[in-house]
Amino acid sequence: MNNEILTRDSQWIKSFFNSSKQMLDDIDLLVKNSKPHLNGERFLTDKEVSEKLKISRRTLQDYRTQGKIAYIQLGGKILYKESDIEKMLESGYQKSIL
């Protein structure tokens, strides 16, 4: 860069602010999509679990009622340990005999 005076219309300034805005947008997206961990454990909502298992939320409720799936209820919120869901999937895995 030479000794030119930088103004808001300078290409360098425009580029800097566009890059900064993109970086802030990326950080916002990361924060929005991250889930807090408790003692290293990640918890999922019923929506996330039903999407992961490809079942309806009503079927997920039936699994809870039947004791097929572990969950935690805090007030009106139902949460599932991600590790419990993974174990459940692993236990139901059937290997091919071919």
Residue 59: inside a domain:
yes
Residue 45: inside a domain:
yes
Residue 26: inside a domain:
no
**Residues forming a β-bridge with 80:** 44
Residue 29: inside a domain:
no
Number of H helices, E strands in the chain: 4, 4
Residue 28: inside a domain:
no
Residue 77: inside a domain:
yes
CATH of the domain at 42: 3.90.105
Residue 43 CB coordination number (10 Å):
21
pLDDT tens digits for 2-61?
677 878 788 888 888 888 889 888 887 776 666 666 777 888 999 999 999 999 999 999
pTM, two decimals, is 0.59
Residue 96: inside a domain:
no
Domain range for 44 is: 37-91
Residue 13: inside a domain:
no
